[in-house]
Chains A and B, each alone.
Chain A
Amino acid sequence: MDATTGTAPPRAAAAARLAGPLRPLWPFLLLLAIGLAMPLTGNEYWGLITTRMAIYWVLVAGLNLIVGYAGQLAIGYVALLAIGAYTTSVLAAGNVLPPLPAFAALGVAGLAGAVFGVVVGLPALRLRTFYFAMTTLGFATIVTQITLAWQDVTGGGIGIAGPMLPAPFDTTWGFLYFCLGFAAICTWLTANIARSRFGRALVAVRDAEVAAEASGIHKPKLLVLVFILAGALAAMAGGLFATLQTYITPDAFTFDLSLLFFIAVLIGGRGSILGPLLGTAILTVLPEIAAPLAAWSTFLYAALLLVIVLAMPGGIAALIDPRNRRNLPENRVIGPQPAALDALLGRREVPAPLTLRGIVLAFGGVRAIDGVDLEVTPGQVHGLIGPNGSGKTTTLNVISGYYRPEAGSMAIGPAPLPAGKPQGRAGLRIARTFQTPRLIGEASVLENVMIGGTTDGRTGFAEALLALPRQRQEEREFEARARLALEAVGLAGLAEARADRLQHSELRFMEIARALMLRPAFLLLDEPAAGLSTEEIRRLGALIRGISRHGTGVLLVEHHADLIFDICDQVTVLNLGKVLAAGTPAEIRVHKEVVSAYLGA
């Protein structure tokens, strides 16, 4: 893989490279070498098992992006294996059209798989997890029934012969090498996606969907692309499966097989490539060396699934991930670097101010916001304070598009800001943080931060799939920018650490770094000081000031009155959804109603 190419980012030369999913590479090469060495045994049985493993992996590699990365629980993926197997076999046999060469049939199967991958996946865009799992099972049933009923084409219950590949792939060993090569390519392709902004976005959709939206990730578009890829791979695996089996009938596509694919991903561990690869290998070989247990295989799969989920949710990947063992330094301090902020944000054109006029939003009859006016000026920090339930966070959510106000208007300068559409905000350079940090625990801090720049990605899915030079260049730029952002907030030393090992205060700064990735025109901060020590709050204040001085308009929701009065240029006080007062900190400090209602002086 090309994880070693490219130059180290200028400001973090000492730091380790961003670890790709194929790092370290040697386990993959070892597995491949074992596969390639199989003919030396002269034992075609183990050749068959290895071939089967490679074919299953082609499917699981794609499914891994759906289940392991995007977290969509597609249980019935055997449907796509069946579609691919039948498409390839029927076309190669010439039941409907003149017979196609095996490779052409395999290619058409890939296209069919891409189409049906989307059809099977579509419900995921609208439905909740359990519902989606059920619909994939439904598809698996439909496919089986159709192969049975459509006897003229599929052979019905009698089945159909699988395609023979041409020489030199028509022998056990030739076919094994073909499948190994194909599996290696699939590993490379899916690893390319996994380490690109698409892969990071998938994980973000899985673990931090709200943050993903705020970063401009369009979930439906992203998932459709992945469903196309996974569907195509699964269907081509199906074509190879048909060749391996030599003959296919509907009863070859059992629920057990579907379960094997699904569980291979989960015991492998989410968000890993090596884990599911090992999972696939284990689940393919285990029944062969534990034949007495054949009758209990489903039982064992189920027990394994339960144990994995309850006892080691990270799967094999968590066991072999060095990031889990490396100790993070004790007594570390967060030391924001203003110089990095300069490099990151630079001097930019000052945008027009963000204005809210007469915003009204009610939840079930209760007016959470009742006619709020607000103006966030670039280059300034605007504090938004008020008692609990006064509508502060709700106002933030209206601006970031999570809520659609019932009345009122929003605009950036003269241009109206459309209500709703949270995914569109990143494109308008509006970034935000959350009251509870939204993070991807299993990803590194660096990857978490890089998510924030997703909307700036210009290269397409195909470029990412093949890791073309332009895409690699863009990745390097993302990484450099993310390191700058981390340095700016003072977390440069933790770039490679897993995010879920960070302390709470560090996560708050990480969220700011993620927001800075966007080089935001407007930055919405939702109680960033909550849970921070006095010293950390002081540094946070300096950081926020620094950000605003680079031309960003900051809207700061906060309870710490000291912080607000220290760093804000303007303050708006909300009470019961209405603006109680607005002005400079000095004005607010002496505002009679504010003092009695809120500051309680």
Chain B
Amino acid sequence: MLASIIASGLAVGAVYALIGITYNTMFATSRVMSFTAGQLGMLGGVFGSLFTLRLGLPILPALVLTLACCALIGVVTEIVAVRPVLKSLDQHLYVLTTLAVALLIQHMTAMEWSTEPQPFPRLLDLGSGIWDEKYWLPVAVCILTILGLEYLYRRTLVGRAFVAIAEDNFAARALGLPERNLRIASYALAGAIGALAGFAGGQLLLAFFANGPLLNFYGFIPVALGGLGNNRGAVIGGFLLGLFQQAANFLVGGIFSSVAVFTLFIIVLLAAPQGMFGAQAARRV
């Protein structure tokens, strides 16, 4: 029983961590926390199911198409909800615009896809029991994603440009970095990462429109725990959250487990607003 709690805890934790990374990727280049992060995860599952089961595509093309669709939605989000409000970042209008876009996405999905959870196919058909692919696949994808991002940020020119923008927007612009294009690219990347989360976790979460707000919240907790913009912190936070949540499900039951998670989240945030590995707030004057 412990093994199954750990397996499912790590699996959902990996999905949460990936959504956390989605938040971070968008935040890095725009300083914007977007409510669309969870919706991208939800769409990963819905598009995956749409392309494989409804349209009958093989897994690989379906995955590529899913990533492309979500990347496109990421870019649209940047154009519609982020770019227009960047000028007045301190007014926090992005909270409202991204919330609006997230609701539009969710409601469209409910109306055009289904309000009932829809099946998601087995991808590799490997493993059973606690070694079933639905448990280890999200974990593997999460690890690959974080390794890929590390490689991108450290070894490639584009990645270093991302880092430069994230650390000092003005200086990066002064250096002549194409800030706007990099921001669009990072939103596309975030869309793809969110889609990966939904695709890898599809067998666990199913293709269900209501996964959006859920992932949005549970994906945000790793960010809050790990510190804004800190991907490694998000991964650790995600796995901790997954394990805590599954253990709470088991120990106190379905009704109180969400209360336990929310309460813990609020208490931790109040105790350490910067998260476990976060930096101090920037200067204001």
Task: Check if B269 sits within 8 Å of A135, measured CB to CB.
Answer: yes
A122 contacts partner chain B, Cβ-Cβ < 8 Å: yes
Q: Which of A145, A148, A306 contacts B97 (CB 8 A)?
A: A306
User: In the complex, which residue of chain A has the Cβ closest to the Cβ of B23?
Assistant: A130
**A295: B residues at CB distance < 8 A:** 111
Task: Check if A130 sits within 8 Å of B96, measured CB to CB.
Answer: no
Task: Check if A138 sits within 8 Å of B100, measured CB to CB.
Answer: no
Distance in Å from the Cβ of A301 to the closest Cβ of chain B? Answer: 7
B85 contacts partner chain A, Cβ-Cβ < 8 Å: yes
Q: Which of B84, B259, B284 contacts A310 (CB 8 A)?
A: B84
Complex-state Cα separation, A306 to B100, whole angstroms: 6
State which size class the interface on A falls in. 35 or more
A126 contacts partner chain B, Cβ-Cβ < 8 Å: yes
**B270: A residues at CB distance < 8 A:** 122-123, 126-127
A196 contacts partner chain B, Cβ-Cβ < 8 Å: no
Q: Which of B85, B217, B263, B285 contacts A397 (CB 8 A)?
A: B285
Complex-state Cα separation, A123 to B91, whole angstroms: 18
**B99: A residues at CB distance < 8 A:** 75, 133, 302, 305
A310 and B108 in contact, given A129-B92, A134-B217, A402-B285 (Cβ under 8 angstroms) = no
User: In the complex, which residue of chain A has the Cβ closest to the Cβ of B107?
Assistant: A299
Distance in Å from the Cβ of B223 to the closest Cβ of chain A? Answer: 9
Q: Which of B85, B259, B269 contacts A142 (CB 8 A)?
A: B259
Q: Which of B92, B104, B217, B285 contacts A138 (CB 8 A)?
A: B217
Q: Which of A71, A298, A313, A402 contacts B107 (CB 8 A)?
A: A298
Distance in Å from the Cβ of B130 to the closest Cβ of chain A? Answer: 29
Distance in Å from the Cβ of B97 to the closest Cβ of chain A? Answer: 5
Complex-state Cα separation, A296 to B104, whole angstroms: 10
Distance in Å from the Cβ of B258 to the closest Cβ of chain A? Answer: 6
Q: Which of B97, B103, B266 contacts A123 (CB 8 A)?
A: B266
**A210: B residues at CB distance < 8 A:** 284-285
User: In the complex, which residue of chain B has the Cβ closest to the Cβ of A435?
Assistant: B285
Q: Give A15-55 as 1s and 0s: 1 = Cβ < 8 Å from B's Cβ atoms.
A: 00000000000000000000000000000000000000000
User: In the complex, which residue of chain B has the Cβ closest to the Cβ of A72?
Assistant: B92
Distance in Å from the Cβ of A344 to the closest Cβ of chain B? Answer: 27
Q: Which of B92, B220, B284 contacts A71 (CB 8 A)?
A: B92
Task: Check if A129 sits within 8 Å of B258, measured CB to CB.
Answer: no
Q: Give A152-165 as 1s and 0s: 1 = Cβ < 8 Å from B's Cβ atoms.
A: 00000000000000
Q: Give B50-88 as 1s and 0s: 1 = Cβ < 8 Å from A's Cβ atoms.
A: 000000000000000000000000000000110011000
Task: Check if A145 sits within 8 Å of B259, measured CB to CB.
Answer: yes
B82-130 interface with A by 8 A CB criterion: 84-85, 91-93, 95-97, 99-101, 103-104, 107-108, 111
Complex-state Cα separation, A168 to B158, whole angstroms: 72
Task: Check if A134 sits within 8 Å of B285, measured CB to CB.
Answer: no
Complex-state Cα separation, A131 to B217, whole angstroms: 10
B197 contacts partner chain A, Cβ-Cβ < 8 Å: no
Task: Check if B273 sits within 8 Å of A131, measured CB to CB.
Answer: yes
B5 contacts partner chain A, Cβ-Cβ < 8 Å: no
A149 contacts partner chain B, Cβ-Cβ < 8 Å: yes
Task: Check if A149 sits within 8 Å of B256, measured CB to CB.
Answer: yes
Q: Which of A130, A137, A434 contacts B92 (CB 8 A)?
A: A130
A245 contacts partner chain B, Cβ-Cβ < 8 Å: no
A141 contacts partner chain B, Cβ-Cβ < 8 Å: yes
User: In the complex, which residue of chain A has the Cβ closest to the Cβ of B104?
Assistant: A302
Count residues on chain B whose CB falls below 8 Å from chain A CBs.
37
Q: Which of A138, A145, A146, A266 contacts B265 (CB 8 A)?
A: A138
A299 and B95 in contact, given A134-B217, A149-B255, A210-B285 (Cβ under 8 angstroms) = no
Distance in Å from the Cβ of A518 to the closest Cβ of chain B? Answer: 18
- In this complex, the member of A127, A145, A295 whose beta carbon has the largest number of chain B beta carbons within 10 angstroms is A145
User: In the complex, which residue of chain A has the Cβ closest to the Cβ of B88?
Assistant: A313
User: In the complex, which residue of chain A has the Cβ closest to the Cβ of B261?
Assistant: A138
**A266: B residues at CB distance < 8 A:** 96
Complex-state Cα separation, A139 to B217, whole angstroms: 12
Task: Check if B100 sits within 8 Å of A137, measured CB to CB.
Answer: no
User: In the complex, which residue of chain A has the Cβ closest to the Cβ of B97?
Assistant: A309
Complex-state Cα separation, A255 to B104, whole angstroms: 14
A201-222 interface with B by 8 A CB criterion: 207, 209-210
Task: Check if A137 sits within 8 Å of B217, measured CB to CB.
Answer: yes
- In this complex, the member of B81, B93, B266, B273 whose beta carbon has the largest number of chain A beta carbons within 10 angstroms is B266
Complex-state Cα separation, A302 to B217, whole angstroms: 19
**B84: A residues at CB distance < 8 A:** 310
Distance in Å from the Cβ of A208 to the closest Cβ of chain B? Answer: 10
**A601: B residues at CB distance < 8 A:** none
**B250: A residues at CB distance < 8 A:** none
B19 contacts partner chain A, Cβ-Cβ < 8 Å: no
Task: Check if B95 sits within 8 Å of A130, measured CB to CB.
Answer: yes
**B269: A residues at CB distance < 8 A:** 123, 126-127, 131, 135
- In this complex, the member of B213, B262, B263 whose beta carbon has the largest number of chain A beta carbons within 10 angstroms is B262
A465 contacts partner chain B, Cβ-Cβ < 8 Å: no
A564 contacts partner chain B, Cβ-Cβ < 8 Å: no
B15 contacts partner chain A, Cβ-Cβ < 8 Å: no
Q: Give B245-273 as 1s and 0s: 1 = Cβ < 8 Å from A's Cβ atoms.
A: 00000000001101100110110011001
Q: List 13 A-B pairs, Cβ < 8 Å.
A: A134-B224, A138-B262, A139-B266, A141-B262, A142-B259, A149-B259, A295-B111, A296-B107, A299-B104, A299-B107, A303-B104, A306-B101, A310-B84
Chain B positions near chain A (C-beta within 8 angstroms) = 33, 80-81, 84-85, 91-93, 95-97, 99-101, 103-104, 107-108, 111, 213, 217, 220, 224, 255-256, 258-259, 262-263, 265-266, 269-270, 273, 283-285
Given contacts A134-B224, A303-B104, A434-B285, list 16 more A-B pairs with CB under 8 A: A127-B269, A130-B33, A133-B99, A134-B217, A135-B269, A141-B258, A141-B259, A145-B256, A149-B259, A295-B111, A298-B103, A299-B111, A305-B96, A306-B104, A402-B284, A402-B285
The 6 residue pairs across chains A and B that have the minimum distance between CB atoms = A302-B103, A306-B100, A130-B33, A138-B262, A129-B92, A305-B100
Chain A positions near chain B (C-beta within 8 angstroms) = 71, 73, 75, 122-123, 126-131, 133-135, 137-139, 141-142, 145-146, 148-149, 207, 209-210, 255, 259, 266, 295-296, 298-299, 301-303, 305-306, 309-310, 313, 363, 393, 397, 402, 434
